[in-house]
Amino acid sequence: MIEPLFPKPKTRGRRWRWPLREIVNASFYVMRSGCAWRLLPADFPPWSTVYRWFAAWRDGCVFERINHALVIADRERVGREAGPSAAIIDSQSVKTTEAGGPRGYDAGKKRQRRRCAEINGRKRHAMVDMDGRALLLEPHPASIQNRDGGRPLLRASRALYPFVARGFADSGYNHERVANSTSIVVEIVRKIAGQVGFVVLPRRWVVERFFAWINRNRRLAKDFEATIDSARAFLYAASIMLLVLRIARDA
């Protein structure tokens, strides 16, 4: 299904020793199981080969392009227009490890969880359509507030999804920087007055469900990546896995 979307082999040079399918399966195994690259089982290609291809796809934005193509294919499969007209935006804060790389302190979580562990790590910003398909994904240090992290995501959506006219978000995006960043009308979905504990809120639950889906992958339980580019690649890989499963059910 996704093989035609990967770069074609070069016409010159030696032939590939390992099938592309095995390289992709090994990369997805790392994401799903959470194992280190060097701990790949012996029935996969050598870890150095798998990582070299993963790094090439990461640097070439291959995962982003495949995700975009699958979003369009899945929307058309269920009878929707290829380009969405509305989207939901939110972020998820996750801890990082000793691997290093950009990180920050999420001050918002400190106010929400006075007695709980505070988040020192990264945020995963996601823009999804009304069915929960990931349109755009972007990790960044958790110290960046939602109003500042969401603005680049909204601007980037203009090129890939120009028909998005309305967005839904929580009160963290209630700022003129977000409202004036693009022509997208951002509607703030506020908490219910007197809300205590968890309550399913209109629209916002769709993006929360997406975060729950991708967190099934152990590599995404925390942000283990040393670079933002690798973190972004694994987020898109998780989205690709979800879309492939959705499309394959009706194949």
Each domain of the chain, given as residue ranges in start order, spans 3-7+17-249
| pLDDT above 70: residue 23 | yes
Cα separation, 245 vs 180, whole angstroms: 37
pLDDT digits (tens, 9 = 90+) for 205-221: 899 999 999 999 999 99
Q: According to the model, what pLDDT value does residue 196 have? A: 65
Q: Of 5, 242, 3, which Cα lies nearest the Cα of 129?
A: 242
What is the CATH architecture of 3-7+17-249? 2-Layer Sandwich (3.30)
Percent of the residues in the chain that have a pLDDT greater than 90, as a whole number:
68
Q: According to the model, what pLDDT value does residue 191 have? A: 75
Cα separation, 208 vs 181, whole angstroms: 24
Give the lowest-confidence range in 3-12, 17-26, 130-139, 207-216. 3-12
Q: Of 244, 248, 213, which Cα lies nearest the Cα of 69?
A: 244
Q: Residue 203: pLDDT band by 50, 70, 90 thresholds?
A: confident
Q: Mean pLDDT throughout 16-31? A: 93
pLDDT digits (tens, 9 = 90+) for 88-130: 999 999 999 887 788 888 776 555 555 455 678 999 999 999 9
The pair of three-digit structure tokens given for residue 190, joined into one six-digit string? 């506020």
| pLDDT above 70: residue 250 | yes
Residue at 203: amino acid letter? R
pLDDT digits (tens, 9 = 90+) for 236-245: 999 999 999 9
pLDDT digits (tens, 9 = 90+) for 125-143: 999 999 999 999 999 999 9
Q: According to the model, what pLDDT value does residue 105 have? A: 82
Q: According to the model, what pLDDT value does residue 108 have? A: 66
Q: Mean pLDDT throughout 73-91? A: 95
SS (H, E, C) the chain: CCHHHCCCCCCCCCCCCCCHHHHHHHHHHHHHHCCCHHHCCCCCCCHHHHHHHHHHHHHCCHHHHHHHHHHHHHHHHCCCCCCCCEEEEEEEEEEECCCCCCCEECHHHHHHCCCCCCCEEEEEEEEECCCCCEEEEEEEECCCCHHHHHHHHHHHHHHHCCCCCEEEECHHHCCHHHHCCCCCEEEECCCCCCCCCCCCCCCHHHHHHHHHHHCCCHHHCCECCCCHHHHHHHHHHHHHHHHHHHHHHCC
Cβ-proximal residues to 130 (8 Å cutoff; 6+ apart), any chain: 84, 86, 87, 88, 203, 206
CA distances from residue 109 to 85, 91, 115, 215 in whole angstroms, order as listed: 31, 12, 11, 19
Q: According to the model, what pLDDT value does residue 239 have? A: 98
Name the burial class of residue 34, with classes exposed (0-12), middle (13-18) and buried (19+) by CB atoms within 10 angstroms of its CB.
Answer: middle
Q: According to the model, what pLDDT value does residue 114 have? A: 53
Q: According to the model, what pLDDT value does residue 217 have? A: 97
pLDDT digits (tens, 9 = 90+) for 144-183: 999 899 999 999 999 999 999 999 999 889 989 899 999 9
Q: According to the model, what pLDDT value does residue 110 have? A: 54
Average pLDDT of the chain is 89
